[in-house]
Amino acid sequence: MKKELNEINILIDLLAKLPGLGPVSSRRVVLHLLKTGNRSRLNDIATAMIRASENVQTCVDCGNYCSAHKCSICLSPQRSSSEICIVQDVSDLWAVERAGAYQGRYHILGGVLSMLDHIGPDELRIPELLKRVRRDATQEVILALGATVDGQTTAHYIAEQLTGQNVRVTTLGQGVPMGGELEILDGGTITAAMRSRREY
Ligand SMILES: [Zn+2]
């Protein structure tokens, strides 16, 4: 390996580890950014990455990404604090927000229970959820975890933990396909599923 290519190879190797990019796409991206006319974009990306790394935090209540202690959804007086929609990841929150059919708050678990991957309740933000429901006297918890086996196992576990508490537990209704993850669904499907939610 030529010494002058070290910088390029380090960049290619780092990008190749990202989801959706392998070595071929990574090389293509790096060569594109190194072209003379594209150097300012390379600088912009580097600056944006540093700013994101330094400033993006996790909301103490819901687990959403934000640039402060709490996210804009948790701070908004327009959002109902009596409903909490439980989602697997931030990408699912974004999907529900894009659909625009929900005016409550969220709780991001950071994954789902998985025997195979040794992910138990304490690896997820489930203890925080249970504390939050008690603290805020939440009236409805909406389980929006997708119809995968692990998603449904997680929904069942959370519903069990909430049994006996004065909270209504619901799940998304029609239109969520088997094995479907929320983030790949279109807004209309999410809206229909949210509106037709039913008792768990
Ligand atoms: Zn939040």
Which CATH number covers residue 26?
1.10.8.420
Indicate the number of domains in the chain: 2
Same domain membership, residue 163 and residue 118: yes
Q: Residue 61 Cα, ligand 1 centroid: separation in angstroms?
A: 5
Same domain membership, residue 118 and residue 32: no
Q: Domain for residue 68, yes or no?
A: no
Which two tokens mark 161?
Answer: 């933990």
Q: Residue 40 Cα, ligand 1 centroid: separation in angstroms?
A: 34
Q: Which domain holds residue 33?
A: 3-55
As a whole number, the mean pLDDT across the chain is: 91
Whole-number pLDDT of residue 39: 87
User: Comparing 3 with 39, which gets the higher pLDDT?
Assistant: 39
Q: List, for residues 141-191, the tens digit of each pLDDT value.
A: 999 987 888 999 999 999 999 998 899 999 988 767 665 677 788 888 888
Same domain membership, residue 43 and residue 132: no
Q: Domain for residue 65, yes or no?
A: no
Q: List, for residues 49-87, the tens digit of each pLDDT value.
A: 999 999 999 999 999 999 999 999 999 999 998 999 999
Same domain membership, residue 106 and residue 154: yes
Q: Domain for residue 63, yes or no?
A: no
Same domain membership, residue 39 and residue 131: no
Same domain membership, residue 170 and residue 124: yes
Q: Residue 108 Cα, ligand 1 centroid: separation in angstroms?
A: 9
Same domain membership, residue 24 and residue 88: no
Q: Work out the angle at residue 193's Cα, subtended by the Cα atoms of residues 129 and 152, and round it to the nearest 5 degrees.
A: 50
Q: Residue 196 Cα, ligand 1 centroid: separation in angstroms?
A: 25
Same domain membership, residue 109 and residue 44: no
Same domain membership, residue 82 and residue 49: no
Q: Residue 73 Cα, ligand 1 centroid: separation in angstroms?
A: 6
Q: Domain for residue 69, yes or no?
A: no
- CATH code: domain of residue 136: 3.40.1360.10
The number of beta carbons lying within 10 Å of the beta carbon of residue 129 is 23
Same domain membership, residue 157 and residue 87: yes
Q: Domain for residue 66, yes or no?
A: no
The alpha helices in 56-125, defined as continuous H runs, are 72-75, 90-99
Same domain membership, residue 140 and residue 191: yes
Same domain membership, residue 195 and residue 130: yes
**How far apart are alpha carbons 80 and 194 in whole angstroms?**
15
**How far apart are alpha carbons 125 and 139 in whole angstroms?**
19
Whole-number pLDDT of residue 192: 86
